[in-house]
Amino acid sequence: MSSAELQLPSNLQNALEWLVKELGAWIGRDQYEMGGGTVLAARWRHRLSTDIDLFVEAAKLGGKEIDQIIEGFRELEVRKEVSALETRPQQGFSCRRENTPVSFFVTHAVMPARVSAEIIQCVGIGTESSAEILLKKVRARMIRNPRYLPRDMYDLIVAHVEDRQAVEDVFGILTVEECKILGFDARRDAFQVTNVERIVAPSYPQLIDPFENLVRFARIVLAQELKAPELRELEGMRRKVTSN
C-alpha cells in the first residue's frame, strides 16, 4: 500500500528539498521525520505554517554524527547559504534558509506510534504522528510555562475536531502530575495566552477573533472539560483554507 502524501506550500517545499539534499551527505532521508506545526497544517489545513522541523531518533544517530552535521552547516553559514545558525552540541541546530526557518534535532520518542504513514510529497520523508507533535508542544512549551503561545493552543484546541484520537493519546501519556499542572493553569486568574503572535490564514477564524475565544477554549481544553456543546461550537467555526 502506498503512503498518503502531504503537500507543503511552495516556499517550504523548496526549503525542505534543499535541506534534505544537504543532510544527505551524512544521513539518509529514511532515517528522520518531519514534525512540528507545519505537518499539522499540511494534514488539517487549519492554518499556514512557516518553518521546517526535522527530527531523528537518538538511537539512529549518535552525538558525534550530529556534531559533524553541525560543522557542515557552520561551513554553509560561512558561505552565506544559511543564516542565524544556532547549535546545541550533540543535539542539533536551527538556522534560516533564505526566509525560511529550518531545524534538525535529536528526539526521544514517547508515543508508541511516533511516526505516521504519511510522507511529504516529492521528497518522500516520513512525518511524525499528530499525537507526537502535540505532546512535544504540551511538554516543551505549556507545562510549567506561564505564557502559552497562541499557535500551540490553537493547534491543541483544533485537534479536538481534526483528530480527537490524537488528543486522547496525548492526555493518556501525560502523568497525573502533568495533568494537574495544566488543570491548575486553566483555572488560575493569571492564566495567559500571549496575544502577540499572528496565526496565518486560520480555518477557524472565530477561534482567534475575538481573542477571548482562544483563551476561553484554552481553559476548557487544558482542564479536559470540552463537552458536546463546545465541540459543536468549534465545528461550526471551521472553514476551508488553501495550502498556498
pTM, two decimal places:
0.94
Regarding whether 51 and 13 lie in a shared domain, the answer is: yes
Regarding whether 189 and 109 lie in a shared domain, the answer is: no
Regarding whether 141 and 67 lie in a shared domain, the answer is: no
Mean predicted lDDT score pLDDT of the chain = 93
User: What percent of the chain is modeled with pLDDT above 90?
Assistant: 85
Last residue of a domain, one of 95, 113, 128: 128
- Helix, strand, coil shares, percent, the chain, to 5: 45, 20, 35
Quote the pLDDT of residue 147.
Answer: 85
The CATH number of residue 59's host domain is 3.30.460.10
Quote the pLDDT of residue 112.
Answer: 82
- What is the tens place of the pLDDT at every residue in 189-209? 888 898 878 899 999 999 999
Per the document, the length of the chain is 244
Regarding whether 161 and 123 lie in a shared domain, the answer is: no
Compute the distance between CA of residue 134 and CA of residue 87 in angstroms, rounded to an integer. 24
Domain presence at residue 232: yes
Split into its structural domains, the chain has a count of 2
What domain range is 191 assigned to?
132-236
Regarding whether 121 and 154 lie in a shared domain, the answer is: no
Regarding whether 114 and 17 lie in a shared domain, the answer is: yes
Q: What's at 199, amino acid-wise? A: I
Compute the distance between CA of residue 79 and CA of residue 73 in angstroms, rounded to an integer. 10
Domain presence at residue 244: no
User: What does each C-alpha distance from 204 to 6, 74, 149 come to in angstroms?
Assistant: 21, 40, 17
Statement: residue 242 has pLDDT above 50: no
Regarding whether 157 and 224 lie in a shared domain, the answer is: yes
Regarding whether 59 and 12 lie in a shared domain, the answer is: yes
Quote the pLDDT of residue 240.
Answer: 55
Q: What angle do CA 116, 119, 120 make, to 5 degrees?
A: 135
Helices 211-222 & 150-162 angle (0-180, nearest 10): 70
Which string of DSSP letters, residue by residue, matches 40-94? HHHHH-SSB---EEEEEETTTS-HHHHHHHHHHHHHHHHTTSSEEEEEETTTEEE
Regarding whether 192 and 107 lie in a shared domain, the answer is: no
- What is the tens place of the pLDDT at every residue in 74-122? 999 999 999 999 999 999 999 999 999 999 999 987 888 889 999 999 9
Give backbone dihedrals phi and psi of 111, rounded to 5 degrees, phi first: -65, 140
Regarding whether 183 and 112 lie in a shared domain, the answer is: no
- What is the tens place of the pLDDT at every residue in 146-158? 789 999 999 999 9
